[in-house]
Chains A and B, each alone.
Chain A
Amino acid sequence: DAGVTQSPTHLIKTRGQHVTLRCSPISGHKSVSWYQQVLGQGPQFIFQYYEKEERGRGNFPDRFSARQFPNYSSELNVNALLLGDSALYLCASSFRTGGGQETQYFGPGTRLLVL
């Protein structure tokens, strides 16, 4: 089975531009989460979506937004890019078991460089 896929793999933008990152979850997974990983640090939670509804939001400015589509794929949008937005953006998908447990499986990430 295919894992979580993300596109593009790499991206270079300039300050002030807008970017859209895409994620396709593992088949059967209805939840998608987005994380930002700055070089040398652990990932930081940005958003989580379940069944097209936002289920959680991390401490990120309103320049960050996301949505989930009927096929459970997701987009992360970042407006008015800043140099500090340069990072690896990770998407994870998960499903909830009958016991209420969820395990998140990550994609390879999109590496964004803002110049």
Chain B
Amino acid sequence: GDSVTQMEGPVTLSEEAFLTINCTYTATGYPSLFWYVQYPGEGLQLLLKATKADDKGSNKGFEATYRKETTSFHLEKGSVQVSDSAVYFCAWVSGSARQLTFGSGTQLTVLP
């Protein structure tokens, strides 16, 4: 069935390290893809999105490219900061369904 598979955490990195969080999806049609971030005790914030194949979403130094051939949308950042510590969720929505389907989340901790 339709789903999102995210890299399992937790992930612990030192400040300025390179970050990759893998995300692959199974969906019918041509979904839009999203990364949301959740800081402790808060709701979800939209981090970036891509709506068609080969689109690259970017925000706050984070990037992800919509790869239709591998059904992936991996999140990357070249140099993480302590303030990036949060839970990151990959999600998709299809034109017909309209509701978001989320992955299970990846906890990121960045140490100074």
Q: Interface readout for B94-112 with A: 1 if CB under 8 Å, 0 if not?
A: 0101111111110000000
Alpha-carbon separation in the docked complex, A33 to B91 (Å): 15
Q: Interface readout for B33-52 with A: 1 if CB under 8 Å, 0 if not?
A: 01010000011111001010
Looking at the complex, which one of B32, B95, B97, B105 makes contact with A41 (CB distance below 8 Å)? Answer: B105
Contact A109 B102 (CB under 8 A): no
Contact B44 A103 (CB under 8 A): no
- Interface size of B by Cβ–Cβ distance < 8 Å? 24
Q: Interface readout for A99-115 with B: 1 if CB under 8 Å, 0 if not?
A: 01111111111000000
B89 proximal to A (CB < 8 A)? yes
A73 proximal to B (CB < 8 A)? no
Alpha-carbon separation in the docked complex, A99 to B96 (Å): 14
For A42, the chain B residues whose CB sits under 8 A away are: 4, 89, 91, 102-105
Residue of B nearest to A45 (CB): B99
Alpha-carbon separation in the docked complex, A4 to B39 (Å): 17
For A88, the chain B residues whose CB sits under 8 A away are: 43
Alpha-carbon separation in the docked complex, A48 to B96 (Å): 13
Interface centre among A41, A43, A100 (most CB of B within 10 A): A43
For B32, the chain A residues whose CB sits under 8 A away are: 101
Residue of B nearest to A43 (CB): B102
Q: Given A41-B104, A42-B89, A42-B104, does the pair A106, B45 have CB atoms closer than 8 Å?
A: yes
Q: Interface readout for B68-97 with A: 1 if CB under 8 Å, 0 if not?
A: 000000000000000000000101010101
Contact B104 A45 (CB under 8 A): no
For A105, the chain B residues whose CB sits under 8 A away are: 46
Can you list 26 residue pairs at the A/B interface with Cβ under 8 Å?
A40-B105, A41-B105, A42-B4, A42-B102, A42-B104, A42-B105, A44-B102, A45-B99, A45-B101, A48-B98, A56-B98, A56-B99, A88-B43, A90-B43, A100-B95, A101-B32, A101-B51, A102-B93, A103-B34, A103-B46, A103-B49, A106-B36, A106-B43, A106-B45, A107-B43, A108-B42
7 closest cross-chain pairs (CB), A and B: A42-B102, A45-B99, A106-B44, A108-B43, A109-B43, A106-B43, A42-B104
